[in-house]
Structure 1
């Protein structure tokens, strides 16, 4: 066996961490096989789309799902119309949380949507708490 280390076995002139091709592939260039596959897909894209729609019409549920997913992408979020009380006080925050809980129980909003709303109400509660703490601190400092 040779007494050379891995770094000594590198080609002469190359240092560890140095690329053999410093310029590398040009930015934005694509792999040759990717370009060939894209060209093949473009040639038959219309025929493929028509065939999938035809299969969906004939009752192929996988094809129908594929068509629907492309036509109507799943909604990430939806607007929520929920009347909440004024959250300018701790009592209002508690009433808002109760209203959110009731909306979930009634099926008006989803649990995930409720979690988002509760997070917003909780942020409001923390802001009120911070304001109240600052007012108390200011009053104590003024009393000294």
Structure 2
């Protein structure tokens, strides 16, 4: 039987959990208690890799938070607002990653303002040329 162009020979695909990875996952899952106990034992006996593994599970790395950032007065030009963001970061009021996000938002706002200004100028030019 020849292969038909555009038609899969196995439309349902491989079943989930089949193959070596699925077997390994199932074996680890069925022995999870013993593996956890062994990792803790190794960590307590000075194995730094096991220690890091245990600590990372208990105390995961700090991630940025998605909360509103209050900076005070964000008035003035976009460059002045950018200055407020940088000053807030320098004073430790916000993290560098939060400052990067805020500055990115200001850059996007600047692009929007540019497009608005170009559209306004174009409309005026078209109106002038149309009336001429």
TM-score, normalisation: structure 1: 0.61
* Rg larger in structure: 1
* Aligned equivalents of 1:71, 1:48: Cα separation in 2: 16
Segments of structure 1 that go 5 or more residues without pairing to the other structure are: 1-12
Q: Which residue of 2 aligns with 1:6?
A: none
Q: Which residue of 2 aligns with 1:47?
A: 34
Q: Which residue of 1 aligns with 2:71?
A: 83
2:71–2:85 Cα contact (<8 Å) kept? no
1:80–1:109 Cα contact (<8 Å) kept? no
- Alignment size in residue pairs: 127
Q: Which residue of 2 aligns with 1:98?
A: 83
Q: Residues 135 and 45 of structure 1: is their aligned pair in 2 closer, same or farther, counting only changes over 3 Å?
A: same
Q: Which residue of 2 aligns with 1:130?
A: 115
1:97–1:118 Cα contact (<8 Å) kept? yes
Q: Residues 86 and 101 of structure 1: is their aligned pair in 2 closer, same or farther, counting only changes over 3 Å?
A: closer
Q: Which residue of 1 aligns with 2:101?
A: 116
Segments of structure 2 that go 5 or more residues without pairing to the other structure are: none
Q: Residues 125 and 136 of structure 1: is their aligned pair in 2 closer, same or farther, counting only changes over 3 Å?
A: same
TM-score, normalisation: structure 2: 0.65
Shift of 1:100: 1.6
Q: Residues 14 and 57 of structure 1: is their aligned pair in 2 closer, same or farther, counting only changes over 3 Å?
A: same
RMSD: 3.6
